[in-house]
Structure 1
Amino acid sequence: MTATTEKLGAHEVAAWLRRHPSFLQQFPDLALTLVVPREEGKASSLASYQLEVLRDKNRELNRRLHELFGNAQENERLAVRTHQLSLALMRQDSAAGTVQAMAASLAEDFNGDRVRLVLFHPVDGLEDAEWLQVIDADDTRLAPFRDCLSDGEPLCGRLQPDKHAFLYGEQAGQVQSTALLPLPGVGLVAVGSSEPNRFFPGMGTLFLRMMGESLATGLARFEGRDHAG
């Protein structure tokens, strides 16, 4: 009778261990003597390697936890500021006061370096406001904004040059990123920042929408009463 010897290759051993992950529990001495190559430095025992992997995972989980906590805190601050803005707009007794409260809040509470509002209807008392443009909704200068005014979707990031120049004029060079909020039938609200990454494509726009709705609702209270002309 001839004995046959089956030779196992490395891949077969690895496949077998994957199917039997508890194998090393039966042979703890083997688990301690195995060595695992490291990307840097000397090889380490399997136990040390597993401990290092667990520590790396723990550090990554802590990093993600801190990131989530930071995002939660920022969202809470934004929620409070948005609520305060809504209350401030509700307290106004004129369209001019409503627009001024919006501009002041965006500059002070939301840290806007450059705040610009574009309205389709003039408002008494704001004729000299340098941060406000009053322009007819059919004006050809609004052509670059037709799509966003149609769908009401906020835009964040670096705007196209024509949009940028229209909103900020001579100060366009000082603005590196913008949050643009279109208000169909009302106008545009732009908050510019000197920081390139302050506003970026893909960032959440929920609070921008809420602020825009608050302004539109606030102005609607004075339609036909405070508009000039």
Structure 2
Amino acid sequence: MKPEAVAQYLRDNPYFFDDHIETLTQIQLPHPHGGRTISLSERQLVALRDKNKDLEKKLREMIAYAQENEALQHKVHEFVIALFGARDLATLQDMIPYMLRDIFAVPHVAMHLWQTNPPSEAVLMFADTENQPICTHNPVEDTATWFGEHAAQLRSYAYMTLHAGSGTIGMLVLASEDKERFYPEMGTMFLQRISEVVSSALHPYLAD
């Protein structure tokens, strides 16, 4: 009899072991974590323990994620307070990249404002068409050059367009040598919030 047929028979006859209780004591199964054999009931206990371990691991991961998320929210809150405490554009231009390196634990941050660093037509077109943050493994047009001597080592990027009204006033880019630091499928909620508050803080100092 094929294994599938045996399995189907037991599913179709849930009281089989009630009528053949001695069979339960005779069945021996290989231990999943060793070479010895164990009874069916022992195997069920092992399976339950393994399942509990998996659940505990997932719970620990969820707790760790929640703690990291809370810490990130706290840093973003401090960032917002600092932004609106700045009194001039020069302070903001220094503060924003510095604080973002800490918030996102990312080594490279570049902020280009069109008023002081006019973009290429291709970069401007990208900024005008992308309203949401973009995470990618490839630099957009010539933006890798914004990172100077580090450009050749960078493997992932997060792009945030800065807006004032209906127009764009610049672009904020996070970059890393780690290819997995930013990737297309990652969530961008915090990046979007950062883009919005930075845009709001810069707007009074820049022409529309």
Give, in whole Å, the separation in 2 of the partners of 1:17 and 1:135. Answer: 73
In 2, Cα distance between the equivalents of 1:45 and 1:86?
Answer: 61
Gaps of 5+ in 2: none
Deviates most, 171-180 or 112-121? 171-180
Equivalents in 2 of 1:55, 1:164: separation in Å?
A: 52
Equivalence for 2:162: 183
Runs of at least 4 residues off by over 4 Å: 8-13, 25-28, 37-40
TM-score by length of 1: 0.75
Judged with a 3 Å threshold, the aligned counterparts in structure 2 of structure 1 residues 161 and 83 are, in CA distance, closer, same or farther, namely closer
Among candidates 80, 83, 107, match of residue 113 of structure 1 = 107
Shift, 1:135, TM fit: 1.1
Match of 1:16 in 2: 9
Q: 135, 142, 151: which one pairs with 1:156?
A: 135
Render the CA deviation track for 1:61-93: whole Å, top value 9, x for unaligned. Answer: 111111111211111111111111111111112
Worse-superposed segment, 151-160 or 198-207: 151-160
The residue aligned with 2:148 is 169
Specify the structure having the higher radius of gyration (Cα).
1
CA RMSD across the alignment: 2.8
C-alpha distance 179-80 of structure 1, shift in aligned 2 (>3 A)? same
Cα distance in structure 2, aligned partners of 1:161 and 1:214: 23
1:100-126 CA distance string (max 9 Å, x none): 22112112333231111111113xxxx
* 1:198 paired residue number: 181
Amino acid corresponding to residue 190 of structure 1 in structure 2: V
Identity %: 28
SS at match of 1:115: strand
Whole-Å separation in 1 of the counterparts to 2:52 and 2:112: 50
Q: Which has the higher contact order (CA 8 A, sep 6+)?
A: 1
Q: TM-score, normalised by structure 2?
A: 0.82
Aligned position for 1:3? none
The residue number in structure 1 matching 2:65 is: 71
Gaps of 5+ in 1: 1-7, 123-133
